[in-house]
Structure 1
Amino acid sequence: MTRLIASLSALLLMTAAPLADPTADYAANCQDCHGANRLGGLGPALIPETLGRMRGPDLGVVIRDGRKATQMPGFGEVLSEEQIDSLTDFLKQPLSEVPEWREADIAASRVVNEEYEAVENPVWSSDPMNITLVVETGDHHVSVLDGDTFETLNRFPTPFAVHGGPKFSPDGRFVFIMSRDGWVQKYDLYALQEVGRIRAGLNSRNIAMSADGKWLAVANYLPMTLTILSTEDLGVAAVLDAKGKDGTPSRISAVYQAPPRESFVLALKDVPEIWEVFYGKNPPQFGFAHDWRIEGPVKNEDPFPVRKITTPDYLDDFFFDQSYEYVMGASRSGEGGQVIDLVIGRKTADLDLPGMPHLGSGITWKRGDTTVMATPHLKEGTISIIDMKTWKTVERIETLGPGFFLRSHENTPYVWADVFFGPNKDVMHVIDKESLEIVKTLRPVEGATVAHVEFTKDGRYALVSVWEDDGAVIVYDAATLEEVKRLPMRKPSGKYNVWNKITFSEGTSH
């Protein structure tokens, strides 16, 4: 009798609590917003490449309780804990195959703001060159600040999970913003209106603007392509498959522009190569046909010829010298780095950079009779200072933990360095550019993540992010290091001053 009752109880439990079927649960509850293939729609892509970049609550908690300031509802009353756990595991699994996202798919995703009206002059009276954008990741918005008064001129929604720095047109009027899901948004700062957006990839790393302002390059992890867009109308100019010389497909780690070379330079994550993609009218002839995507002379009908340079190691991020002749690169999995000469197409020096350097946040400044480059490290509390004539490390500055961002300005004697990881994440170091000593350690908000600095056009003020949902941008006097103002923000991350970015100001990463 006891066994019968136990069996009946178990049967009732099985009937009351449905068995976990994550595929069915996803189709019933998730795909309308996140797409049948998990690649995103109204909501973001639910794949490891995207989920791994999102800072915030545990995925299972978000499924159960929803997420504030978004359209994500909670499913705690619809799905059992077992179903939520199973669905969480399902979403963390990589896709079984690399999805296609070609020219036709990209073009079909293009959305134009029908209400957009161009204006001849800004609708505000601020200095157009001193406008600063603040990316607020807490609710996926950007605030437009007057760099003199710090008044908020506008606050507009962005695609979900903005990633990489926004890029300004050479005149500073338009800004292009990319999300981790590959959406590229064009926004008119003069009119304070969105112009339109297009999905250039499915999982993207960053964007780069050509020196002439005509082209925007989008580096994609998925589907392993470089998409080139026309900045005028967000039309698709080209989609280049990222395949090494031997045909091996690869994700793209990063892409940046090299203005004097009229090219984009990009690093492949899965193949030991860097590429130079030329957009100018007269790309240089190097005499090495095997280095090019097309054989023989460059043809007029191929507007974006590609030069492929083999490197001794894989590169995850990189940095240029002032002439854009040399690329300083490093692999996240390796120790140290390498210098690649773009003119001759080969390595010319090694860099002593242990502890996973974050070269994407590197900055330079003149020190004595040379120029130095500084980079934080993601695995240790160190900032390395490198002489860019000899490529030797001249100093290692010990910090209170691994950092992520460095910033400076030509009109300030200081470098600002955050401690992004570990127990001292609330620290901001201020370092003298000549003595290379820490002159002050700021703790603006005890226990809060303090990160990323941007300067106003003249370098008079430094803006620091309190990277929390109820955070703020703190304005400091860059000379006295005293706090001037606090601007409440929703998890502010990067800040981008128009003048500093379009002029490649000293101390600003590019």
Structure 2
Amino acid sequence: MLKQLLFLFWLAFSAITLAEPRATGDLGLIIERESGSALIVNTTEHKQLARIENLGDTSHASVVFSRDQRYAYLFARDGGLSKIDLLQDRLVKRIVQAGNSIGGAISQDGRIVAVSNYTPGGVKLFSADTLEPIADIPAEYGASQRSKVIGLADAPGQRFIFSLFDAGEIWLADVSDHQKPSLEKFKNIGKQPYDGLITPEGRYYVAGLFGEPGMSVLDLWHTEAGAKHILPNYIKEDEKLPVFKMPHLEGWAMAGDYVFLPAIGKHEVLVIDSRTWQLVKAIPVLGQPVFVRARPDARQVWLNFAFPDNHQLQIIDVKDLAVSNTLEPGKGVLHLEFSPRGEQVWVALRDDNQVVVYDSYHLKELARIPAKKPNGIFFSARAHQIGL
């Protein structure tokens, strides 16, 4: 009996020691939008490691990572919040914390996960360790009304920043005291802020406006000055084209002193000087841009488009501020993600059920990875980037 037990122990120990080591910095998640699942992938070897299922409504989902890059936190459209172990290929825990959710963020110290909600409108805070609730920030305004919350991002100083779509406000929440967040509210920032972004160093928060021309910028070094309305005269109402898919400011691009943003209602990418927040140039593109992403070396900006041009990608040369290349990777281009140093870009092709990987310097196709209706692609290197 003792020999049998020792033999079983030896087998178990051998299985553990012979298991292939896995580096957390080389991992990523590909969201499968219609099956409520996600693929864990190795970004160097271009291969699927596992499929995680039972993640809820992933038709619109986003992901942030723990600071050690081991865990991914997935925010699903149905209000679900999931914690995924990227080393053990398993769903650690899933809760449904609201009725309709649009995204989330993780705090500077990695201890708090924040979720922004449409229904009920507000932000909820959870322990990154256990997913137990910590605090609730209802987005109340006016006569006890609740606003949809969008554009949630982490900010330096243990803070979260977000916009209230219905109220036209930006709120800054200091969560240094986890149980009692303190709020700073900036009102009348513009009509219907639809998305928001924070610059890489965490200084500026930009809210795009759907209800009126322009954008709103808040300088987090000088919050006493309030939010500044920029580009108010960029486009007139009668010039707007139909909007088939809302642009995503989270897919913004910053290259040097330039910020590249998708225009609403025009087939253009706006180039803004981040020192003055003045328009430098509007670059004509072939369709309505959705995600605009800069390669990490800041030489190129890649963008995809809404229907009917969503089978194409365009590349802007930052030196010339002009489109340099157009690619047709496949049907239903939904999202793109650069490798941490930018030598590769991964592109989700929803209608071709695959992800294509390009050499971003030579525009050569490197691999195609099968996936069920893929949309979002998120690499664990985001763990060390503000606002992602």
Shift of 1:245: 6.7
Match of 1:331 among 200, 203, 209: 209
User: Match of 1:41?
Assistant: none
Map residues 268-307 of structure 1 onto 2, 5 A cutoff: 268-281=164-177, 303-307=180-184
User: Match of 1:309?
Assistant: 186
Q: Structure 1 pair 124/280, CA: closer, same or farther in 2 (3 Å)? A: farther
Match of 2:151 among 254, 257, 273: 254
User: Match of 2:8?
Assistant: none
Percent identical? 26
The structure with the greater share of residues assigned to strand is 2
* Distance in 2 of aligned mates of 1:169 and 1:147: 18
Map residues 7-22 of structure 1 onto 2, 5 A cutoff: none
| Preserved CA contact (<8 Å) 1:362 1:373 | yes
Match of 1:175 among 54, 72, 97: 72
Q: Structure 1 pair 336/451, CA: closer, same or farther in 2 (3 Å)? A: same
User: Match of 1:364?
Assistant: 254
* Distance in 2 of aligned mates of 1:192 and 1:412: 34
SS at match of 2:146: coil
Cα deviation 1:308-365 (Å, max 9, x = unaligned): 2213313221222344333222221211112223421513342355467642321212
| Preserved CA contact (<8 Å) 1:412 1:479 | no
Q: Which one scores higher on RCO, CA 8 angstroms, separation ≥ 6?
A: 2
| Preserved CA contact (<8 Å) 1:476 1:482 | yes
Q: What is the one-letter code of the residue matched to 2:318?
A: K
Q: Structure 1 pair 122/277, CA: closer, same or farther in 2 (3 Å)? A: farther
| Preserved CA contact (<8 Å) 2:209 2:216 | no
Map residues 56-455 of structure 1 onto 2, 5 A cutoff: 124-157=20-53, 158-244=55-141, 247-258=144-155, 260-281=156-177, 303-314=180-191, 315-342=193-220, 343-344=223-224, 346-351=226-231, 354=235, 358-366=248-256, 371-411=257-297, 413-422=299-308, 424-445=309-330, 448-455=331-338
User: Match of 1:464?
Assistant: 347
User: Which structure 2 residue ranges, 5 or more long, are not aligned?
Assistant: 1-15, 241-245
SS at match of 2:154: strand
Cα deviation 1:127-161 (Å, max 9, x = unaligned): 32121211111322111111111111111112222
* Distance in 2 of aligned mates of 1:378 and 1:492: 25
Aligned residues: 359
| Preserved CA contact (<8 Å) 2:152 2:163 | yes
Q: Mean alpha-carbon deviation: is it higher for 320-329 or for 426-435?
A: 320-329
Match of 1:477 among 354, 359, 363: 359
CA RMSD of aligned residues (A): 2.3
User: Match of 1:19?
Assistant: none
Shift of 1:246: 6.3
* Distance in 1 of aligned mates of 2:205 and 2:17: 39
Shift of 1:225: 2.6
Q: Structure 1 pair 411/341, CA: closer, same or farther in 2 (3 Å)? A: closer
* Distance in 2 of aligned mates of 1:430 and 1:461: 14
Q: Structure 1 pair 473/302, CA: closer, same or farther in 2 (3 Å)? A: closer
Larger Rg: 1
| Preserved CA contact (<8 Å) 1:130 1:456 | no
* Distance in 2 of aligned mates of 1:351 and 1:326: 16
SS at match of 1:172: coil
Q: What is the one-letter code of the residue matched to 2:44?
A: D
Q: Mean alpha-carbon deviation: is it higher for 239-248 or for 326-335?
A: 239-248
Shift of 1:124: 4.5
Shift of 1:458: 2.7
* Distance in 1 of aligned mates of 2:229 and 2:266: 23
* Distance in 2 of aligned mates of 1:230 and 1:123: 31
TM-score (structure 2 length as normaliser): 0.86
Q: Structure 1 pair 461/474, CA: closer, same or farther in 2 (3 Å)? A: same
| Preserved CA contact (<8 Å) 1:415 1:431 | yes
Q: What is the one-letter code of the residue matched to 2:203?
A: E
| Preserved CA contact (<8 Å) 1:374 1:383 | yes
Q: Structure 1 pair 373/123, CA: closer, same or farther in 2 (3 Å)? A: farther
Cα deviation 1:26-66 (Å, max 9, x = unaligned): xxxxxxxxxxxxxxxxxxxxxxxxxxxxxxxxxxxxxxxxx
TM-score (structure 1 length as normaliser): 0.66
Q: What is the one-letter code of the residue matched to 2:124?
A: T
| Preserved CA contact (<8 Å) 1:409 1:459 | yes
| Preserved CA contact (<8 Å) 1:164 1:207 | no
| Preserved CA contact (<8 Å) 2:134 2:179 | no
Q: Structure 1 pair 390/133, CA: closer, same or farther in 2 (3 Å)? A: same
SS at match of 1:166: strand
| Preserved CA contact (<8 Å) 1:358 1:378 | no
Q: What is the one-letter code of the residue matched to 1:308?
A: K
The structure with the greater share of residues assigned to helix is 1
Shift of 1:216: 0.9
User: Which structure 1 residue ranges, 5 or more long, are not aligned?
Assistant: 1-119, 282-300
